[in-house]
């Protein structure tokens, strides 16, 4: 991880919409060898809380999206960096704020760990069952295109 200052702050867009991450944000979509993805049930108090999405959060100053996604997934879900092979990234760019979904294959299936208060639960979900969950709105929008690339 780059040693830059924390990006933990809200960014407000021209329309008043708020986005978490002064330097943007990133999340990690981990794919198991069994064609499942690791999803996080987000704490009710979080932005779009009580929905399912990928572990992630604010990027630090100077941190790449991949560094941020891997760091956040380690912090929130106990994802071991050593098992990851990054496959591709998908960027939502609003001009003043970005969110990058980093997609990585897990060389082996591991047991995720709820390791901070942002997670209610973590679950490996088969590709075909993802859309049936109450998804974070932005993840719900991105999932069809992400799945097509998997």
Q: Is residue 1 part of a domain?
A: no
86 CB neighbour count, 10 Å cutoff: 13
Q: Say what the pLDDT of residue 118 is.
A: 83
Domain that holds residue 139: 10-149
Q: Given pLDDT bands bounded at 50, 70 and 90, which one contains residue 3? A: low
Q: Is residue 5 part of a domain?
A: no
Total domains in the fold of the chain = 1
**What's the CA dihedral at 82, 31, 43, 112 to 10 degrees?**
-50
Q: Is residue 2 part of a domain?
A: no
Phi, psi of 63 (to 5 degrees): -85, 135
Identify the CATH number of the domain in which residue 115 sits: 3.90.79.10
The model scores a pTM over 0.75: yes
Q: Is residue 67 part of a domain?
A: yes
Closest CA to 55 of 43, 67, 35, 38: 38
pLDDT above 90 as % of the chain: 85
**Angle, CA 61 vertex, CA 24 and CA 42 arms, to 5°:** 45
Q: Is residue 50 part of a domain?
A: yes
Q: Is residue 29 part of a domain?
A: yes
């Amino acid at each position: 991880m780059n040693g830059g200052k924390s990006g933990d702050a809200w960014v407000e867009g021209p329309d008043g919409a708020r986005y978490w991450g002064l330097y943007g944000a990133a999340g990690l979509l981990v794919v198991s060898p069994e064609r499942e993805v690791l999803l996080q049930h987000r704490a009710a108090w979080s932005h779009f809380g009580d929905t399912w999405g990928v572990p992630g959060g604010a990027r630090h100053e100077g941190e790449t999206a991949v560094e941020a996604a891997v760091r956040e997934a380690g912090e929130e879900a106990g994802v071991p960096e050593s098992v990851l092979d990054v496959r591709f990234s998908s960027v939502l760019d609003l001009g003043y704020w970005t969110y990058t979904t980093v997609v990585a294959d897990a060389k082996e299936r591991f047991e995720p760990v709820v390791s901070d208060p942002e997670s209610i639960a973590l679950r490996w979900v088969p590709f075909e069952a993802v859309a049936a969950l109450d998804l974070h709105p932005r993840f719900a929008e991105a999932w069809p295109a992400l799945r097509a690339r998997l």
